[in-house]
Amino acid sequence: MRSAPLRLMLFDRTCTGKRLRPGLSHAWWAGSHLYRGLSRFDASLGVTCWEDGLDWLATTHPDREIAEIQYWGHGHWGELFVDRKGLTAEALRPGHPLHRKLAAIRERMVPDHLWWFRTCEAFGAVRGQEFARRFTDFFGGRAAGHTYIIGVWQSGLHSLRAGETPGWSAQEGLSRGTADSPVEALWSRRREPNTIHFLNGKIPDGY
């Protein structure tokens, strides 16, 4: 029998706090173990750079396809960070140092796959919408991200499939600035649009 496609998770393990105090990486590490205990992930890895994380996604369990990848870390409008180093839509261009690694991952993804960026703001403002569109067009599947600063509550969750146009407002989640020139994002709250709890492991219908 053919093995089921993998569900994988990456997180940034460099956000450790100061003077031995726990940082967000400790929460992401604990969450990864909780989700694996709930059988939501098949494997997870904390990374210190995008190169190592993408190499792992491209090579782990090479005999199996990938159905879902989640990334837990810091984000900004149209950008995902590991150790303050950003991954943007420019990485999808041939010639970029990360392009071949992303293309290798693409070869492993099932057609109806999902990338879920559980970071702050990645799909917010015009830059976030453009990132979502270019990312899904490159991979040919579905991607999800948030327009707000996220924590226990995670607001502004939206997904996009290849070839689609973002259907959410580019102004959503902004407290200061405009969709073209964002300055500051809002914190997630229970009653803000498209909000889930951090323990929710599935994207609700219509999001």
Q: What is the CATH number of the domain that holds 105?
A: 3.40.50
**Residue 86 domain-assigned (yes or no):** yes
- pLDDT, residue 43, reads 97
Residue 157 phi/psi, 5° resolution?
A: -85, 125
pLDDT of residue 19: 62
Question: Is residue 121 domain-resident?
Answer: yes
With respect to residue 202, please indicate whether it lies within any of the assigned structural domains. no
Average pLDDT of the chain to the nearest whole number = 96
Average pLDDT estimate for 63-70: 97
Phi/psi at 87 (5° precision): -110, 120
Dihedral sign (CA 66, 70, 76, 77): positive
Q: What is the mean pLDDT of residues 142-164?
A: 98
**pTM of the entire predicted model:** 0.96
Structural domain boundaries, residue 58: 6-197
Q: How high is the pLDDT of residue 165?
A: 97
> Which residue type does 35 have?
Y
Query: What is the average pLDDT across 38-60?
Result: 97
The number of folded domains in the chain is 1
Residue 206 lies in a domain: no
Residue 16 has pLDDT above 80, yes or no: yes
Per-residue pLDDT of 159-187, as tens digits, reads: 999 999 999 999 999 999 999 999 999 99
Do the domain assignments include residue 148? yes
Average pLDDT score over residue span 134-158 = 98
- Identify the pLDDT of residue 178: 97
Higher model confidence: residue 109 or residue 1? 109
Q: What is the pLDDT of residue 195?
A: 98
As a three-state string, the secondary structure of 55-119 is: HHHHHCCCCCCEEEEEEECEEECCEEEECCEEECHHHHCCCCCCHHHHHHHHCCEEEEEEEEEEC
User: Does residue 17 carry a pLDDT above 90?
Assistant: no
Please give the radius of gyration of the chain, using alpha carbons only, rounded to the nearest integer.
16
Distance CA 73, CA 144 (A): 14
Asked if the structure places residue 94 within a domain, the reply is yes
Q: Give me the pLDDT at residue 21, please.
A: 65
Confidence of residue 15 (pLDDT cuts 50, 70, 90): very high
Residue 203 lies in a domain: no
